[in-house]
Chain A
Amino acid sequence: MSENRSESETGILAVDVSGLSDHVTDAETRESAARERREKLRMFLTNWQGLTGLILVAVFFASAIFAPWLAPYDPNALDVPARLSGPTLDHLAGTDQLGRDTLSRILFGGRVALKIAAIGVSVALTVGLILGMIAGFGPRWLDSLLLLVFDTVRSFPTIVLALATVALTGPSLAVVLAIVIITSIPQYARVARTATLTLRNTDFILAERSLGASMTRTLLHHVMPNVVGPLLILAAMDVPVVVTVEAGLSFLGLGVTPPTASWGTILNEGYLVIRDAPWMVIAGGIPLILTTLGFTFLGEALRDIFDPRMGKGR
């Protein structure tokens, strides 16, 4: 089987060339693919970082999705007489300044992080993929224009952009989401563009074009399948960034508004009473650290598997 692999910006592009291998039988192809999948699964199962990451990510998803059932209390229920009480059997992670159960707020805070990560990353990935492919496959002037836009957006520090936006609109979850999406699009788009540029002059794309395929069909059916893989790995690596951006903005009071629980607001409230109630900062910080590590480990492991050249020691 011929292999035509090119290196993208991140060096993780793998090209699907199965459509050109006429001399290889379908059975052989399927067997080869299955063997490759088994090998990748074996690599993953023997990678302790990947497994740890997978477990942490699974815990993150499960706790966020099932928070209404797992949380022992209403996260917004006030109990001022019980304010700042330490960890007990009733309140495993103690209570905050208003007597709210910290564990319940952490579980519900995970939902905010999940929502921001899921929506933010998927929208940024989709838009970035489309724009990147258009830049890479379209006319040169469009490529230059889109690159200029990407670079302009990337030149804004996220926090400064957030401060400016919040000053105009006021803080809200929607604003955080918009900032995450806007600042994330360029990195996906740039990777997609580079990969598309590499593909546009390959034999199978030229053959497709010479047979009269439209640009849309070429992009959707031939370019996108080869570009989306690396972007998915990039997305896995991007989730912890997005989660910490949300927590950071909420910590600064630029994110979710009260009484919504977020890990950032829990950390902020805990920081203010750290000498009286250190468990708030600890309880708010642990899920943030574990989630960040989980997605990072998982992303690293996936990258190792899908691009063996990006091996250990990098």
Chain B
Amino acid sequence: MKQTETTRRGFLGTTAALGAVGLIPSWTTAVFAQTGGTLRLRIGRDNNVLDPGFMTGNSEIEAQKQCLPFLAQYTRDGETFTWEPTYFVTKLEQRDATHIDFELAEGLQWSNGYGPVTASDVKYSYERMKETDWSGYFDALDHVEATSERTGTIVLNKPFAPFIMITLCHGPGAVLSEKAMADAGGKFTTKFPAVCGPYTYEATPGQRAVFSANPDWNGPKPAFERVECNVITEIKAAELAFEAGELGCTRVGADTLARYTKDMPDGAGIAVAGELQYMWMGMNTQHPKLQDIRVRQAIQHAVDVDTILQGAYSGTTAKSYGIICPGLIGQRDSAGYSYDPEKARALLAEAGVSGLELTLRTLNNQERMLTAQIIQANLAAVGITLNVLPLDSGPFWEMGQESKGETWKELELWLMRFGTTPDPYEASQWFTSNQVGVWNWERWTDEEFDRLYEEGINETDPQARHDIYVRMQEIMDNTGAYVWINHEPEAFVHSSGVTVNAAPSGELNYRRFAKG
């Protein structure tokens, strides 16, 4: 009998041959499948804290939307978003500038024997939020009055027009069972103490979160009996999984969005959730190298944003002119500067600066790294040497916060993207004077900006609000601390057998998905 021996050389040779074969390009034919009543999706990480008061957000909000009651939900109104009452209420009305009346639907029951959903649960949930990590969303809340078992009134401490849109529709607006929370010790992490919604929740860390039909739910049945959210960290891996028919829907990156827009795979569609994200390059106005406003203005003029949109985002994103996103009150169509390398050189010469070397910090992902390299080339063209420092999300999100160390003192330039809700107030709150060293990493203060911020909250006339937010962005431009880059949409590719429902900030709401 012939014996086959594996030798080191044989192994090397075989591996080389297999590697060469592997390099031959192959394209799989995309197969999209929805098996029975199961929808398979992707989440980027495990849900570590489901408690609305202490969550990180994103997929945790998605889980809350399936398992907990909300009083309001987003709905599209043409190109913009507005709100509507959910199934959980029979009434949600703004009686006057500071009072919102609600009436809960009949027959809503908490799981695990915690009885009906009551107005006092709403009172407990919202008043509790004022003491949590997400308290900023409830600054305007004074208290909640429970007038009967199912009715109550949300009382604001000042007129705050966007309260329903940015608070009640979003993750922090989730209602919890007061009794279940008491039994859970007032907080929870990866397991809901009680659910009231179409799905129950169970997760296996590092693998998946599974939403199964809730046997106690007597409201409208969702389109899919079971939703499996697989933990897939890499967005590219998720895209391949979708094309292989393993996922029914997943978020896609800019280059894939461009490819699909040009050549959509059979049986697939694209859903764009909204462009409620704003990205910019920030500059630390207090850093010795950047204290001279002419240097900052030179950098504003040196960066070719149009090239960034093409090179890093494949032309799939909207050019930004400030913090207010497309479709919102206060959005601008131009910034206070333009790409002009000659002017940049002149400003640097006027400031007497030469041989300037700066460091740009950015998250280490494809689009940001490409953006950074274009900026690097742009600044080199006007005589500024730029070192790019890619960072993981942990150190990146802490670097400008005074409470997290001393890195904020060394910050020079950085690429930043914030997400927002469908009201301009939310985006403007991070740049007030009291945010210096928290989220205002550019570290400027302006009394007029702070005053306008308060006026924007209280103002109800749309035109007046528009003028306020436009002026606030002009003030930001004038600091020279910002190069506005883009508003990136949250885009999802999905099987044509699935109709996607997503919040404007990009969270999916599986209970509102439809078939076909």
A positions within 8 Å CB-CB of B: 49, 76, 78, 80-81, 83, 97-99, 167, 170-171, 253, 257-259, 269, 271-273, 275-276, 278, 281-282, 285-286, 289, 293, 296, 300, 312-314
Contact = CB atoms under 8 A, between A and B. Distances in A.
Contacts of A253: 364, 369, 390
A165 B7 CA distance: 37
A276 B239 CA distance: 13
B377 A257 contact: no
Contact of A98 (B259, B374, B387): B374
B343 to A, nearest CB: 21
Which residue of B236, B369, B387, B392 has the most chain A CB atoms within 10 A of its CB atom? B369
A278 B24 CA distance: 9
Given A99-B311, A272-B366, A78 B255 contact: no
Contacts of A273: 255
B310 A258 contact: no
Contacts of B376: 258-259
Given A80-B307, A97-B311, A258 B388 contact: yes
Given A272-B236, A278-B25, A314-B8, A97 B390 contact: no
Contacts of A170: 389, 391
Nearest to A279: B25
A80 B364 contact: no
Closest 8 CB pairs of A and B: A80-B311, A278-B25, A253-B364, A258-B388, A258-B373, A272-B366, A78-B377, A98-B311
Contacts of B5: 313
B174 to A, nearest CB: 35
A305 to B, nearest CB: 15
Nearest to B25: A278
A276 B310 CA distance: 15
B23 interface: yes
Interface of B: 5, 7-9, 12, 16, 19-20, 23, 25, 27, 236, 253, 255-256, 259, 307, 310-312, 364, 366, 369-370, 372-374, 376-377, 387-392, 395
6 contacts: A257-B388, A258-B369, A259-B376, A272-B255, A285-B23, A293-B12
Given A253-B364, A282-B23, A285-B19, 10 more contacts: A78-B373, A78-B374, A80-B374, A171-B390, A259-B376, A259-B377, A272-B255, A293-B16, A300-B9, A313-B5
B388 A167 contact: no
Contacts of B253: 272
Given A272-B366, A296-B12, A97 B312 contact: yes
B264 to A, nearest CB: 13
A93 to B, nearest CB: 13
A171 B387 CA distance: 11
Contacts of A257: 387-390
Nearest to A100: B373
A201 B253 CA distance: 66
Contact of A314 (B7, B16, B27): B7
A257 B360 CA distance: 11
A17 B188 CA distance: 75
Contacts of B8: 300, 314
Contacts of B9: 49, 300, 312
A183 B236 CA distance: 32
Contacts of B23: 281-282, 285-286
B7 A313 contact: yes
Contacts of A314: 7-8
Contacts of A78: 307, 311, 373-374, 377
Contacts of B370: 97-98
B255 A97 contact: yes
A68 to B, nearest CB: 19
Nearest to A265: B369
Contacts of B374: 78, 80, 98
Contacts of A259: 373, 376-377
A275 B259 contact: yes
A83 B255 CA distance: 12
Nearest to B309: A80
Contacts of A81: 310
A81 to B, nearest CB: 8
A48 B376 CA distance: 47
A276 B255 contact: yes
A282 to B, nearest CB: 5
A171 B390 CA distance: 8
Nearest to A286: B23
Contacts of A293: 12, 16
A80 B392 contact: no
A76 B377 contact: yes
Contacts of A271: 236
Nearest to B390: A253
A83 B310 CA distance: 9
Nearest to B10: A313
Contacts of A281: 23
Nearest to A297: B12
B20 to A, nearest CB: 8
A281 B27 CA distance: 15
A98 B307 CA distance: 9
A167 B396 CA distance: 11
B319 to A, nearest CB: 15
A80 B314 CA distance: 10
